[in-house]
A and B are shown apart, each in its own frame.
Chain A
Amino acid sequence: MILTNIESVPGKNIVEHFGVVSGSTVRAKHVGRDIMASLKNLVGGELKGYTELLQDSRDEATNRMIAQAGQLGANAIVNVRFATSSVAQGASELYAYGTAVRVE
């Protein structure tokens, strides 16, 4: 599966469109990480736990999007976008969407 966030796949032609595909996941952090984070909030610096958590969640959302595109018979997703929204205190939703296409 080829992913791009531009309208085309450079070097290839789009032969078929399959419409929008998307994947999302809602994640919360566990208490241990919260405590570590609030300690880190005193001294400043990178919150590695959160960085990893968000990266994992985005991978998960992307994988769900790829699975959906695979079911449609697409071999590429163009114009991929990511969005983040917080649904509740301490939980956030990661959303990935794009257009599934077949390229040659």
Chain B
Amino acid sequence: MELIIFIILITLGYVSGTIVEKKHYRSIENREEKFLSLPAVTIKKCGPTTKKVEQVRLVSGNAVISVDYFKRILAGLRNVFGGRVKSYESLIDRARREAILRMKREALFSDVILNIRVETSSIGQDANRKKNIGSIEAFAYGTAVTYRK
């Protein structure tokens, strides 16, 4: 009986997790293309420009993404053999890119975002007590500068 539940959970996790991830990557790629004209840089200076600065403000975005049951089991197995844990790589990648996109959405009418920082923290530890990380938060912030037209 327990084995049946386990198999059901794994299948559910695999199917829905794959669908969710593919959908999310598609939407991330679409939006990244849309925001190509708004550069987000890690340098702190505006660069050589003669334009007058109109507005400066702090913009930020965050996202909490969780892995599915199948990937968590997979990562648990990886812990035994060692090596690259691909399922968590894609999880963190999605969270970071999503956070940066949300930051850019907040800075929609700005010209450049300076000094962007991305930090991650794992939360909800007691929601997935059995295995260590299951959900991760990425938080991106930077200074949006708008030039006078």
Interface residues of A (CB under 8 A from B): 2-7, 9-12, 29, 34, 37-38, 40-48, 50-51, 54-55, 58, 80-84, 86, 89-90, 92
B143–A5 CB distance below 8 A: yes
Shortest beta-carbon distance, B147 to chain A, in Å? 9
The one of B17, B46, B62, B139 in contact with A44, judged by C-beta atoms closer than 8 angstroms, is B17
Stretch at the interface among B32-40, B51-59, B75-83: B51-59
Q: How many residues of B contact A (CB 8 A)?
A: 48
Q: Which residues on the B side are within 8 Å of A9 (C-beta)?
A: 56
Select which of B66, B117, B141 is within 8 A of A47 by beta carbon: B66
| B20 contacts A84, C-beta separation under 8 Å | no
Contact B115 A43 (CB under 8 A): no
**Do B44 and A37 have beta carbons less than 8 Å apart?**
no
Binding site for A on B (CB under 8 A): 9, 12-13, 16-17, 20-21, 24, 44-46, 52-54, 56-58, 60, 62-69, 71-72, 98, 114-115, 117, 119, 121, 123-128, 134-135, 137, 139, 141-143, 145
Q: Say whether B135 contacts A43, CB under 8 Å.
A: no
- Are B13 and A55 in contact (CB-based, < 8 A)? no
Q: How many A-B residue pairs have CB under 8 A?
A: 134
Beyond A6-B115, A37-B127, 13 additional contacts (C-beta under 8 Å) are: A5-B58, A10-B46, A10-B53, A10-B114, A43-B12, A43-B69, A44-B69, A44-B71, A45-B20, A45-B66, A47-B66, A50-B137, A51-B64
User: Contacts A6-B44, A92-B123 given: A84-B139 contact, CB under 8 Å?
Assistant: yes
Q: Are B126 and A41 in contact (CB under 8 A)?
A: no
Q: Which residues of A contact B53 (CB under 8 A)?
A: 10-12
- Distance from B128 Cβ to chain A, minimum over Cβ atoms (Å): 5
Contact partners of B145 in chain A: CB under 8 A: 10
**B13, B62, B143: residue with the most chain A Cβ atoms closer than 10 Å:** B143
User: Complex Cα distance A12/B89, Å?
Assistant: 41
Q: How far is the CB of B39 from chain A (nearest CB, A)?
A: 15
A10 with B13: CB separation less than 8 A: no
Q: Chain A nearest CB: distance from B61 CB in Å? A: 9
A41 near B56: Cβ-Cβ < 8 Å: no
B62 proximity list for chain A (CB < 8 A):
51, 54-55, 58
Of all A-B residue pairs in the complex, the 8 with the closest CB atoms, nearest first, are: A11-B53, A44-B68, A3-B58, A44-B17, A50-B64, A43-B16, A84-B121, A4-B143
